[in-house]
C-alpha cells in the first residue's frame, strides 16, 4: 500500500481541515494504515507557506488548506502549482460563493468560528451552573460563583440567574427564610459578588397571591399574608446587614434592568 502523506495547513487551529481530511481518508483507509496526517496551525505569513511547500515537495505530501485570507490562498495555490504538489482549497470556493450571494466582502479574520464556540460553551456552562446551584440546593456553588443572589421567595432570583447565565456569569442564588439559617458559605463569599434583592411588601403580596392562584391554591395562605411577608423582609434585612453586600430594589425593575445593574457593579469591581 502506497504511503499517503497529508499536510493540513490552517491560519487557525486546523481542526476543520483535519476533521474533513480524516473523514475522507477513512473511506479508503479506515485505520489510517500507512497514512500520516500532519497539521500546520496558525500559518499567517508567506514565509511559512513557502517552507511548508518545500517540505511537502521533499516528503511528497498532499496539501489541504483552510486559509481565510485571499492573498494567502492564492500564494499557496501558486507555489503548489510551481512545485507540482497536489493541493486542495477547502474554504476558498465556499467563501467566494457566499461573497457572490451576499454582495459582501469576507472579514478574512482567522479563528472566528472558534471564538464563537468558546463563547457558546461558556454560556452553556454558566446556564448549567445556574440550574445546579439554584435556590440554595447546593451551598458549595456559592464560593464557585461569579455572582451570588440573596433574597426572599419571589424576588426573581431564578429568572435573574438564568438571564445572567446567558451573559456568561456563573450565578448561585440563596433563598432567605426565617426558619432556616443561611449556609456558612454565604458569609465567606466576596462581598463584591453578593447582591441582596429587596422588594416592597405590597408588590410581594400581589406576586405571591398570583403564584398561589397559578398553583390552584387559596390566595389567603400564610405564604401571601402581609404579616408573614414583613417578617421575612425584616429577617432578610438582618442577614444583609451581616453580609454587608449591595442591595438592589427590584420592586419596579424588569429582570434585564436588575441584571444590568449587577453586571455594571461586577465589571467595575474587577
Q: For residue range 202-255, what is the model confidence (pLDDT) as tens digits?
A: 999 999 999 999 999 998 899 999 999 999 999 999 999 999 999 999 999 999
Per-residue pLDDT at 111? 76
**DSSP letters for 11-62:** SS--HHHHHHHHHHHTTT-TT-TTEEEEEE----SHHHHHHHHHHHHHHT-E
Same domain, 89 and 29: yes
User: In terms of domains, do 124 and 214 share one?
Assistant: yes
CA 33 – CA 161 distance, rounded (Å): 51
**Which of 53, 88, 110 lies at the terminal end of a domain, its last residue?**
110
Q: Which residue carries 479506515 as its cell? A: 30
Looking at residue 91, what is its pLDDT?
94
Q: What is the pLDDT of residues 64-77, one digit of tens each?
A: 999 999 999 999 99
Q: Among 110, 142, 176, give the residue marking a domain's end.
A: 110
pLDDT score of 115: 65
Question: Are 261 and 154 contained in the same domain?
Answer: yes
Binding residues for ADP: 151-158
- On whether both 101 and 125 belong to a single domain, the answer is no
Write down the pLDDT at residue 125: 93
Quick one: 126 and 230 in the same domain? yes
pTM across the whole model: 0.62
By residue range, what is the domain housing residue 12? 4-110
Q: Are strands 87-89 and 171-175 parallel, antiparallel or unpaired?
A: unpaired
| Residues in CB range of 90: below 8 A, 6 or more apart | 16, 17, 20, 64, 65, 66
Domain shared by 156 and 262, yes or no: yes
pLDDT at position 114 over 70: no
129 with 241, same domain: the answer is yes
Per DSSP, helices labelled H in 60-187 are 70-83, 92-102, 112-132, 157-165
Average pLDDT over residues 93-107: 92
Whether residues 137 and 29 fall in one domain: no
CA distance 270 to 248: 19
Q: The domain spanning residue 237 has which CATH number?
A: 3.40.50
Asked whether residue 264 falls in the same domain as residue 132, the answer is yes
Residue range 130-168, pLDDT digits in tens:
999 999 999 999 999 999 999 999 999 999 999 999 999
- CA pair distance 89, 79, nearest whole angstrom: 13
Residues at the binding site are 151-158
Per the structure block, which three cell numbers stand in for 229? 411577608
Amino acid at each position: 500500500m502506497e504511503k499517503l502523506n497529508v499536510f493540513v495547513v490552517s491560519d487557525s487551529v486546523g481542526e476543520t481541515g483535519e476533521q474533513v481530511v480524516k473523514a475522507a481518508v477513512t473511506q479508503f483507509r479506515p485505520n489510517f494504515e500507512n497514512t500520516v496526517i500532519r497539521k500546520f496551525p496558525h500559518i499567517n505569513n508567506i514565509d511559512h507557506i513557502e517552507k511548508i511547500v518545500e517540505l511537502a515537495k521533499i516528503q511528497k505530501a498532499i496539501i489541504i488548506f483552510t486559509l481565510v485570507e485571499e492573498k494567502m490562498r492564492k500564494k499557496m495555490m501558486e507555489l503548489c502549482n510551481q512545485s507540482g504538489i497536489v493541493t486542495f482549497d477547502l474554504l476558498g470556493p465556499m467563501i467566494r460563493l457566499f461573497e457572490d450571494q451576499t454582495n459582501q466582502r469576507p472579514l478574512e479574520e482567522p479563528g472566528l468560528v472558534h471564538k464563537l464556540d468558546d463563547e457558546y460553551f461558556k454560556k452553556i456552562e454558566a446556564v448549567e451552573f445556574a440550574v445546579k446551584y439554584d435556590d440554595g440546593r447546593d451551598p458549595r456553588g456559592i464560593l464557585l460563583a461569579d455572582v451570588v443572589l440573596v433574597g426572599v421567595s419571589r424576588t426573581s432570583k431564578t429568572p435573574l440567574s438564568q438571564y445572567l447565565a446567558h451573559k456568561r456569569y456563573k450565578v448561585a442564588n440563596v433563598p432567605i427564610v426565617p426558619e432556616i439559617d443561611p449556609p456558612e458559605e454565604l458569609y465567606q463569599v466576596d462581598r463584591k459578588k453578593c447582591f441582596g434583592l429587596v422588594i416592597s411588601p405590597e408588590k410581594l403580596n400581589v406576586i405571591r397571591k398570583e403564584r398561589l392562584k397559578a398553583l390552584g391554591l387559596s390566595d389567603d395562605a400564610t405564604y401571601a399574608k402581609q404579616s408573614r411577608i414583613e417578617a421575612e423582609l425584616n429577617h432578610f434585612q438582618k442577614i444583609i446587614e451581616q453580609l454587608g453586600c449591595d442591595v438592589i430594589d427590584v420592586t419596579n425593575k424588569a429582570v434585564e434592568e436588575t441584571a444590568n445593574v449587577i453586571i455594571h457593579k461586577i465589571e467595575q469591581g474587577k
